[in-house]
């Protein structure tokens, strides 16, 4: 998201995977970036490399802590030109050992954590709008939101909920002059995907993912998805009739070792 004018940015999930790469790119471009993540030590080490970084240690599932972070952002930046909600987690559900707590953990981060950050960020985005800026709200969903996949009941549903929520919010924020971009990555080389026990087709490096995201944000694309040779077919499969989707999904359900979820 290169810009001749430095932007005020809040990035969550900033110390690992795509988030860490995004943090470095944004800071190197000269933007003022508030970095949030749970790991205080990693966050402090990253922020120490840049004069334009503001470390904001944060667990996005703690609503009160997120509200305090919003207050700190207001003091430090005044407003926000970009809120990039990137924090996320992934756990796979085994239907034979149904675990509601797993579902709650995944939704706590991927969906409710994002809404807590929205609650804190929206007043700051609105403040930027009153200053004559055109602020942008963006969030990292997943290509798994396009198509139901085996073992992805919790992860895919949490990302689909996030995508639906922000697409609806986009309609309501349009009149206020606040844009909304959704990010739907396929497989990316990160510590999170390194735990996967199945093949990950067309996996790309975090650098390539960050480049795709920043390019999409600069163009204010509504849906930033990549790599397109993977995400476009997945989107098309997602609009198949339910019977065809069922037959396709059953083929993917042969064993945990052969399942794939971005």
Q: What is the CATH number of the domain that holds 239?
A: 3.40.50.720
Is 2 inside a domain boundary?
no
Q: State the pLDDT at residue 252.
A: 66
Domain that holds residue 229: 8-258
- Does the pLDDT at position 203 exceed 90? no
Query: Is there a contact between 234 and 194 (Cβ–Cβ < 8 Å)?
Result: no
Catalytic machinery residues: 155
Q: State the pLDDT at residue 190.
A: 78
Helix (H) / strand (E) element for 139: namely strand 136-140
Domain count, the chain: 1
% of the chain exceeding 70 in pLDDT: 94
Range of 89-93, 136-140, 234-238 with top mean pLDDT: 136-140
CA angle 109, 112, 156 (to 5 degrees): 65
Is 61 inside a domain boundary?
yes
Is 1 inside a domain boundary?
no
Q: How far apart are CA 12 and CA 83, in angstroms?
A: 9
Q: How far apart are CA 13 and CA 155, in angstroms?
A: 17
At which residue do the structure tokens 């999930």 appear?
A: 13
At which residue do the structure tokens 């970036």 appear?
A: 33
- For the ranges 48-57, 61-70, 115-124, 202-211, the lowest mean pLDDT is seen at 202-211
């Amino acid at each position: 998201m290169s810009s001749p004018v430095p932007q005020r940015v809040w990035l969550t999930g900033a110390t690992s995977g795509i988030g860490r790469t995004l943090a470095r790119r944004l800071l190197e471009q000269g933007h003022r970036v508030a970095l949030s993540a749970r790991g205080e030590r990693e966050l402090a080490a990253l922020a120490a490399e840049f004069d334009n970084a503001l470390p904001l240690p944060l667990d996005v599932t703690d609503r009160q802590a997120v509200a305090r972070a919003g207050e700190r952002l207001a003091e430090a930046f005044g407003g926000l030109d970009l809120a990039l909600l990137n924090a996320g987690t992934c756990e796979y559900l085994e239907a034979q050992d149904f675990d509601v707590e797993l579902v709650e953990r995944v939704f706590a981060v991927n969906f409710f954590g994002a809404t807590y950050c929205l609650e804190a960020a929206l007043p700051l985005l609105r403040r930027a709008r009153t200053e004559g800026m055109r602020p942008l709200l963006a969030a990292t969903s997943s290509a798994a939101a396009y198509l139901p996949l085996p073992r992805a009941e919790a992860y895919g549903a949490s990302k689909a909920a996030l995508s639906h929520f922000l697409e609806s919010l986009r309609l309501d924020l349009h009149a206020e002059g606040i844009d909304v971009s959704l990010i739907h990555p396929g497989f990316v080389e990160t510590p999170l995907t390194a735990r996967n026990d199945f093949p990950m087709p067309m996996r790309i490096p975090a650098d390539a993912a960050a480049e795709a995201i920043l390019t999409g944000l600069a163009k204010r694309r509504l849906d930033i998805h990549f790599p397109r040779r993977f995400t476009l077919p997945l989107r098309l499969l997602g609009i198949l009739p339910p019977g065809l989707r069922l037959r396709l999904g059953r083929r993917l359900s042969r064993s945990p070792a052969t399942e794939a979820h971005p």
